[in-house]
Structure 1
Amino acid sequence: MSRFTHISLLILLILCVACTEQTSNPEKDNTQQQKQEQPVEVGQPVHIDPVKTGTISSYLISSGTIESNKTVEIFPKVSGYVTEVLCKEGEFVKKGQPLVKLDPREWEIVVLQARMDITELKQQQKQEKLNIETLRKKIQQAQLNISELEEQMKQVKLDQTKTKKDLDRGKESYQQNIISEGDLENNRYNYQKSLLAENSLTVQIKRSKVAKEEAELELTKANSAIQNIQVSIRKAEKVTLRDALLKLSYATITAPFSGVLIEQAVTEGQLIGTSAKIFTLVDLKKLILVLNIPERELTLLKEKQKVILRSENFPDMVAEGRVESISPVVNNQTGTVAVKVAVRPDKSILRPGIFVQASIVLQHKTSVVVIPRAPILYDNNRSFVYVVNDENKAQKKFVELGIREGDQVEVLSGVEQDEKLIVSGHHIVEDKQLVEIIEREENLESN
């Protein structure tokens, strides 16, 4: 038998066997055919992220320019020629540090003259004190003399009374020839002598009293003079000299507080007056930001709220501040309220004049459910998301949203931590639809 004949018989045998199997299993053939005809359900590809808890804040956004809370223009308090400029623009100075010196000679002369005047007044005061002491002694002596003379007058009065009685008795005795004419004349002489003594003492007492009164008047004048001198000394010491010393001290112009000098406007040898600005001084440690907030936002604001500061020109800079005060007055032209923010400065960047964006922290929450904004959909103004349940099907869940920060949203209710949130493909899935979770490329690369 030829090779071709063998091959033909083998093919024929195979065909016969095949026909026999089809005839003997008709039910099996039908089942396989049905399986091939039924469509296989394929899950909708989606990406998921587990729902997590985190920190989220809400902000009120505004902007403004950084200012120094303390900025002063420094002017001299006296006129004069500038002899020294001790600091330069851009330099940090401490409170009380000398900045500029003026020619002090004019005020040194005034101080010297004031001191000489005071010395002269004190010498006059000393002389008046000596004069007062002399007058007091004079008054005391006059009073002593008056007292002695008055005592003598008492004795003279007694003698006068006695001699008058002796004279009267002598006259009677003479008429009766009891005494002689010589005895009568002797009695008359004694009486006349007492009268003369009385007159002399009266004159002396009067003169002593006049001397005392004159001394007392001089003492009054001396006391008044010394009081005037004391007033002049006090005025010279507390007004003239102090004013001269103060103006002499003004010849050295010092920093009123610690800060940085800007806008230098003075040179050595320059004649300056009290209206000539020499420096502007700013305190970089006390920076503020004044924000103009719409009045409708007023109820959201309160003092000590945290404020985050950023600048487009310095993208890496993030500074902080606190709401220091809220103006009680609304600007009727702009409808805004001035809010003053005390800035905690960044030593290397923040300076007066920098324009910043300010985010006032209205709420700050921790350990709350937070999801991206992108997967959130809406059904008749109700927010919902899709999650993948245990059957690998999309499940529609309505959610109550809280505060928003950037692309993140707080979820108050509706989903819980670790649920599988559909974050990609959510626009094309439907509730209870089978889904297929596709790992993201970054996850595959990390694995």
Structure 2
Amino acid sequence: MTDNNPTNNNDLPNDAQSAQDQTWQPKKKSPAKRLLVLALLIAGVIGILYAYQLPPFSPSYIETNNAYVRGKPTQVSPKVAGYVRQIMVQDYQFVEKGQPLVQIETDQYEMRLAQAKAGVLSQQATLGKIKQAQNSAAANVAVMDANIESAKVNLANAKAQHARLAELVKMDAVSRQDFENSLANVQKAEIAVLQAQAQKKNAEQEIANVVVNEKSNLVAIDNAKAGLELAELELSQTLIKAPISGRLNEILVKEGQLVAVGANLMSIVPSDLWIVANVKETEISQIAIGQPATITVDALGSKQVLTGKVVQIAPATGSEFSVNKTDPSTGNFIKVAQRVPVKIAFDNPTDASQIQMGMSAVVRIDKVKE
């Protein structure tokens, strides 16, 4: 088929085709298209900066969804062992400080108390006997003093009689036998004085022994009274009371169950709650004590925003407190940004009444102004 197109370059002479090639120019792009492409590039760069929160779109706060409601639950445990007689509360009930929770059987503790009271009375009776012995020993000492004085008087008379006979024997007025008898009487009187003095020392030693026994008995009385107080304390501890005010968790003990000292019966969650936000280590330098924060608890929805302040910053990352720490020296090392716990207290304590411990939250903490 023959092409009838008069503009076909194959039908043009060589000179004409060469002239046409020299006069051809590419089409110029319009300025509007160039501006559109440039605008798209700028918009893309701005979008990337905004998406990654890079300058100039860096926020004035630090945000993390790695945050949870925390509290300090108190474990309720018995201080004495025994069988549970009665449980006076229900699961999840709110209790006041000092409210009775559990009653342990008291029979054995009441018997121990009676035994301790009897021990105190017994020691006090012994003390009464010691007081009597002390009075008797004091009376014996007084008797010994009288005996000594009597012996001394007898000794003085014997010496006087002996002196008179000594003068008479020189004049042969008395017999030699009477004189020697008077000398023997003097010696007997001296020995009687020594005996009376020795008996007094024995009586005084008895007083000292009674004093020692009294001190020992007083210690025994104190020990018995301490045992009585311990028995009273143990009896009072059979009634387990709430150490703080708060809400109970599930009760783990049943009536009739034998519980040991320190067993976990239940826990009390106080109304004092706070937020622990785990912040990246690269952002922790922009947080300081007292910085305000906004809190959104997942359970309350994003529309209800609570406020608080940073009150404490952990001295180490969360991984340092974990049981199984990572060991970078093994060679399998992947650098991961660590998290530092930050404690945030609610501005309004009543806000904590709307939430429960363990709930998840989103936290925004204002950065420190440079």
Fold shared by both chains (TM-score > 0.5): yes
- State the Cα distance separating 1:348 from its structure 2 match: 4.8
The counterpart of 2:85, out of the listed 83, 86, 89, is 83
Where does residue 279 of structure 1 map in the other structure?
Answer: 266
Q: Per the alignment, in what secondary structure is the counterpart of residue 244 of structure 2?
A: coil
Give the counterpart letter for 1:304 in structure 2.
Answer: G
Aligned equivalents of 1:258 and 1:215: distance in 2? 66
The counterpart of 2:136, out of the listed 134, 137, 145, is 134
- State the Cα distance separating 1:72 from its structure 2 match: 1.9
- State the Cα distance separating 1:321 from its structure 2 match: 2.4
| Structure 2 CA distance for partners of 1:348 and 1:209, relative to 1, 3 Å | closer
| Residues 328-367 of structure 1, C-alpha deviations (whole Å, 9 max, x = no match) | 3345666332222223342552210110111122358xxx
| Residues 298-328 of structure 1, C-alpha deviations (whole Å, 9 max, x = no match) | 3322222222110233223222222222223
- State the Cα distance separating 1:228 from its structure 2 match: 1.7
Which structure 1 residue ranges, 4+ long, deviate > 4 Å from structure 2? 330-334
Give the counterpart letter for 2:289 in structure 1.
Answer: E
- State the Cα distance separating 1:111 from its structure 2 match: 0.2
| Structure 2 CA distance for partners of 1:363 and 1:301, relative to 1, 3 Å | closer
Give the counterpart letter for 1:135 in structure 2.
Answer: A
Does 1:67 pair with 2:70? yes
| Structure 2 CA distance for partners of 1:306 and 1:160, relative to 1, 3 Å | farther
For structure 1, which runs of at least 5 residues remain unmatched after alignment? 1-56, 172-182, 365-402, 404-447
Give the counterpart letter for 2:224 in structure 1.
Answer: A
The counterpart of 1:337, out of the listed 336, 340, 348, is 340
For structure 2, which runs of at least 5 residues remain unmatched after alignment? 1-58, 321-325, 327-336
- Superposition CA RMSD, Å: 2.4
1:21-60 alignment, distance < 5 Å = 58-60=60-62
Where does residue 198 of structure 2 map in the other structure?
Answer: 210
Does 1:113 pair with 2:115? yes
Check the 8 A contact 1:104/1:251 in 2, yes or no: yes
| Structure 2 CA distance for partners of 1:298 and 1:157, relative to 1, 3 Å | farther
Check the 8 A contact 2:87/2:254 in 1, yes or no: yes
Deviates more, 1:322-331 or 1:151-160: 151-160
| Residues 84-115 of structure 1, C-alpha deviations (whole Å, 9 max, x = no match) | 11111111111111101011011000000110
Give the counterpart letter for 1:66 in structure 2.
Answer: V
Check the 8 A contact 2:286/2:368 in 1, yes or no: no
- State the Cα distance separating 1:132 from its structure 2 match: 0.6
Does 1:224 pair with 2:224? no
The counterpart of 1:292, out of the listed 278, 291, 295, is 278
Where does residue 171 of structure 2 map in the other structure?
Answer: 170
Q: Per the alignment, in what secondary structure is the counterpart of residue 279 of structure 2?
A: strand
Aligned equivalents of 1:339 and 1:233: distance in 2? 56
1:306-317 alignment, distance < 5 Å = 306-315=292-301, 316-317=303-304
| Structure 2 CA distance for partners of 1:225 and 1:147, relative to 1, 3 Å | same
Check the 8 A contact 2:273/2:352 in 1, yes or no: no
Give the counterpart letter for 1:254 in structure 2.
Answer: K
Give the counterpart letter for 1:141 in structure 2.
Answer: V
Aligned equivalents of 1:148 and 1:300: distance in 2? 103
Deviates more, 1:125-134 or 1:315-324: 315-324
Does 1:263 pair with 2:250? yes
Give the counterpart letter for 2:342 in structure 1.
Answer: V
Where does residue 150 of structure 1 map in the other structure?
Answer: 152
Number of residue pairs the alignment of both structures matches: 292
1:302-381 alignment, distance < 5 Å = 302-315=288-301, 316-330=303-317, 335-343=338-346, 344-346=349-351, 348-362=353-367
| Structure 2 CA distance for partners of 1:117 and 1:361, relative to 1, 3 Å | same
Where does residue 92 of structure 1 map in the other structure?
Answer: 94
- State the Cα distance separating 1:75 from its structure 2 match: 1.7
Check the 8 A contact 1:319/1:345 in 2, yes or no: no
Aligned equivalents of 2:274 and 2:353: distance in 1? 16
Q: Higher strand share goes to which structure?
A: 1
Aligned equivalents of 2:60 and 2:223: distance in 1? 66
Aligned equivalents of 1:301 and 1:162: distance in 2? 117
Give the counterpart letter for 1:362 in structure 2.
Answer: K
Aligned equivalents of 1:338 and 1:147: distance in 2? 92
Where does residue 434 of structure 1 map in the other structure?
Answer: none
Q: Per the alignment, in what secondary structure is the counterpart of residue 316 of structure 2?
A: strand
Q: Higher helix share goes to which structure?
A: 2
Where does residue 438 of structure 1 map in the other structure?
Answer: none
Check the 8 A contact 1:287/1:345 in 2, yes or no: no
Where does residue 196 of structure 1 map in the other structure?
Answer: 184
TM-score by length of 1: 0.60
| Structure 2 CA distance for partners of 1:272 and 1:184, relative to 1, 3 Å | closer
Give the counterpart letter for 2:234 in structure 1.
Answer: K
Larger Rg: 1
| Residues 213-240 of structure 1, C-alpha deviations (whole Å, 9 max, x = no match) | 33233223222222221111101111x2
Where does residue 254 of structure 1 map in the other structure?
Answer: 241
